[in-house]
Amino acid sequence: MLLPIDTLLTPQEVHYCRQQLAAGPWQDGSLTAGTLAVQVKRNLQLDDHSEQALQLRQLILGKLQSHPLFVSATLPSRYFPPKFNCYQDGGHYGLHVDNAILALGSPEQLRSDVSCTLFLNSPDEYDGGELVIETRYGAQQVKLEAGSLIIYPSTSLHQVLPVTAGQRICSFFWIQSLIRDAHQREMLFELDQSVQALTVALGEGDAEVGRLSQLYHNLLREWAV
């Protein structure tokens, strides 16, 4: 499931992020690439240990944890701390799949179930730079407004096309979900959205709303890992 979430960050929060990133120390993105990815990765990444990275992570994680649509779609169990990248001067990231297991720090590890890209500048600030995600319906190109987020299965092949003018600035991170299977996670999301809509239309006391809510939670209980 590809799901865009509009305006996760307000314009004021985007401006704050841009200020922090402009002052931050950037590194060659190949320093954090795996054996295969290093051959197709050309970008810059903010130093993960910088004060700017620490502050921006707190902001983004706080927004995610309080966003009902994000929580419904991902059912997060664990978060990989957000990272930040910049593509410019032809920078790109060729076709690849994200690592299945990510190190949070010895001995903690995270299984990547859901990948997320948060766009931090407007698409009219750069040419190219589309995030291209391979799906069962074909390749989907994504280029969102500043402050908007795209979520997609970490099992997907994807790439960032070359940025031929300007800069593309994003945050990216991963989620280990309570629901490991992407199809089950998508079905629970659709069911939860229906429950929420019917609750607004019929009220929490409606018998059928209660039955659907019971089904949702029992499926969540059955499938959660």
Based on the fold, state whether residues 123 and 208 are members of the same structural domain.
Answer: no
Euclidean distance between CA atoms 122 and 119, whole angstroms: 8
| 183 is annotated as contributing to ligand binding | no
Q: What is the pLDDT of residue 54?
A: 97
Based on the fold, state whether residues 203 and 172 are members of the same structural domain.
Answer: no
Q: What is the pLDDT of residue 143?
A: 98
Based on the fold, state whether residues 79 and 58 are members of the same structural domain.
Answer: yes
Q: 11-22 and 51-65 helices cross at what angle (nearest 10)?
A: 160
| 217 is annotated as contributing to ligand binding | no
CATH number at residue 110: 2.60.120.620
Based on the fold, state whether residues 88 and 190 are members of the same structural domain.
Answer: no
Based on the fold, state whether residues 91 and 71 are members of the same structural domain.
Answer: yes
Based on the fold, state whether residues 209 and 104 are members of the same structural domain.
Answer: no
Q: What is the pLDDT of residue 35?
A: 64
- φ, ψ of residue 93 in degrees (nearest 5): -140, 110
Euclidean distance between CA atoms 163 and 12, whole angstroms: 25
pTM comes to 0.95
Euclidean distance between CA atoms 16 and 37, whole angstroms: 31
CATH number at residue 214: 4.10.860
Euclidean distance between CA atoms 128 and 149, whole angstroms: 18
Partnered with residue 151 across adjacent β-strands are 3, 116
How many domains is the chain built from?
Answer: 2
Based on the fold, state whether residues 159 and 209 are members of the same structural domain.
Answer: no
Q: What is the pLDDT of residue 105?
A: 85
Q: What is the pLDDT of residue 31?
A: 75
Q: Which residues of the chain have pLDDT under 70?
A: 33-37
| 15 is annotated as contributing to ligand binding | no
Phi-psi region of 123 (alpha: psi -120 to 50; beta: other; left: phi over 0): alpha
Based on the fold, state whether residues 93 and 37 are members of the same structural domain.
Answer: yes
The residue from 177, 192, 210 where one domain ends is 177
Q: What is the pLDDT of residue 34?
A: 62
Based on the fold, state whether residues 42 and 148 are members of the same structural domain.
Answer: yes
In angstroms, how far is CA 142 from the centroid of its own chain?
12
Based on the fold, state whether residues 159 and 218 are members of the same structural domain.
Answer: no
**Any alpha helices (H) in 66-206, and if so which ranges?**
68-74, 182-202
Based on the fold, state whether residues 142 and 162 are members of the same structural domain.
Answer: yes
Based on the fold, state whether residues 45 and 127 are members of the same structural domain.
Answer: yes
> Mind listing the pLDDT tens digit for each residue in 12-62?
999 999 999 999 999 998 877 666 667 799 999 999 999 999 999 999 999
For residue 132, the enclosing domain spans 3-177
